[in-house]
Amino acid sequence: MSILRFSGASTPKGKPIPALTAPSEMFKKDRQLKLLISAVLPAELLLSFALSAQGSSASSTTPPCPAPGNLPRSRQIAQSAPQRNSSMVLPGFEWSLPCEGRLEKEPENAAPQQMLRGSVSQCDIDQDFGNSVDRMLDAALFATTKMHMLEKAVAHYRTPAQKTIKNIKKAANYSTSYRGFASSSEAADIILDEKIKVKDEDSADYARQRYIDEMHPKVIARTMQLSLALGAADTARKEQLTASAMSSLRQLVGDAEANLARQQLSGWAKEIQVPESMYDQESWDVESFGAKLKDVTKLAMKGDPVVQELIEELRSYNHHSKLSQFSSKVIGSGLNIATWAAPGFFLPAACELANVGYVMATGGPEEDKLLTELYYDKRVESRYRAINEEAQLALSQYQNALHDRNPVLLMCCESVLAQLVGAENMDCVVARTLLTHKIVAQHTLEATANSDKTLR
């Protein structure tokens, strides 16, 4: 969600502000203000104006600013944009703003009488929430030495020297079978998740990802617990839940990150005002909840970069052309037969060497490929478990937030869902959103493009 706040100066209630002027020096010094106002107004965003009194009369008072949730959409303002020397009345406000044209160009023959100065700031809750979760995840992961060891192992086995040693071991095992039952035993350990011995790049990547996927849902769950506590209506229950949630979060991510998370959630809670219509949504039945959980998990898996990278790696094993499949059968079987049938010593040795070279050139022995594919499969499964768990948490607590009228938990759940499925897919998940995910996703690039054109 984007929250835009406009702060500036106004005359007392009921008195029109003199014509807005924009001298060339103002545009040179404050181009960013012009850029933001001209770029953001056409977008479907909610504006929160905080106007402070700065009139000529010392006894003048400024009328209270409407809450962000009660403001009209800015598109209604844009559609009724004033012409030159007309009066623009902002819906929801009681001020009449005579304008010297729009702020897209410097007005001509404008006599500056009173300058209206202001600033526009933007707060993207979805992005800030994602950054906050990432910081807490890093703090939780590196709180112990395990993550440091796994990072070191991954970096070690990705070096060219270790990759060369791994290929030499593959070739030696293909020729001599020196590993015995080790391959089948390792495969059983991978499938059962009983023990993972970090001995190469595949095992190190899996061990590292599994640890991350176990920790991420814990961070999300404890953040939601804190959100539930901060949004509780009963004061006594709120203090009790907050103390318990903060204690649990501190144990996981540390004091600094826990306090920062509480500060951010409390700040966002003050910015968001939930309309009563949000709480009037119908509860999901069992079938609806199951269908939404399935949709969220599917969209999240489809958009997850780790999963997509693993899928691309797996497709390299099953997307062989018919010619390559046929040639591998003929060449492999022909060289094996020649190794046994060729007379003498040097000719069979040459055939065996050629066979090993061909096998290593095509990715290594098949049993090693199967082990690699097992590690990829377990990594996909690990991602699925983490995503599915977070999706269940977000959807179930979203229902609780609507039932308990908890705005902080509602905002947290929407942000988690937006992180999972993407802002553009939020309409497929919930019928009505509190945060303007879709608006921000559609208009961010448009506003940037319009801003660049304005500066030119």
Which one, of 19, 15, 34, lies nearest residue 113 by Cα?
19
CA 215, CA 211: separation in Å to the nearest integer? 6
Amino acid at 2: S
CA 332, CA 33: separation in Å to the nearest integer? 70
The pLDDT, as a whole number, for residue 320 is 80
Q: Rg for the chain (alpha carbons), in Å? A: 31
The pLDDT, as a whole number, for residue 423 is 82
Structure tokens at 29: 């010094």
Segment 9-17 mean pLDDT: 42
Q: Which residue has the tokens 């898996």?
A: 301
In this structure, the chain runs to a length of 456
Q: Residues 63-116: pLDDT tens digits?
A: 444 444 443 333 333 333 333 333 333 333 333 334 444 445 555 555 555 565
CA 145, CA 378: separation in Å to the nearest integer? 24
CA 353, CA 100: separation in Å to the nearest integer? 85
Segment 342-360 mean pLDDT: 84
Which has the minimum average pLDDT: 123-127, 191-195, 208-212, 293-297?
123-127
Cα distances (angstroms) measured from residue 243 to each of 212, 229, 239: 27, 9, 6
The pLDDT, as a whole number, for residue 201 is 93
Which one, of 386, 401, 413, lies nearest residue 306 by Cα?
386
Which has the minimum average pLDDT: 64-68, 275-279, 300-304?
64-68
Which has the minimum average pLDDT: 40-44, 102-106, 118-122, 174-178?
40-44
Structure tokens at 363: 């990715």
Q: Residue 193: which region, alpha, beta or left (left: phi > 0; alpha: psi -120 to 50)?
A: left
Q: Write the DSSP string, 139-177.
A: HHHTTSHHHHHHHHHHHHHTSHHHHHHHHHHHHHHHHH-
In sequence order, which residues have a C-beta less than 8 Å from that of residue 77 and are 6 or more positions away? 41, 88, 90, 91
- Classified as helix, coil or strand, 43 is coil
The pLDDT, as a whole number, for residue 93 is 33
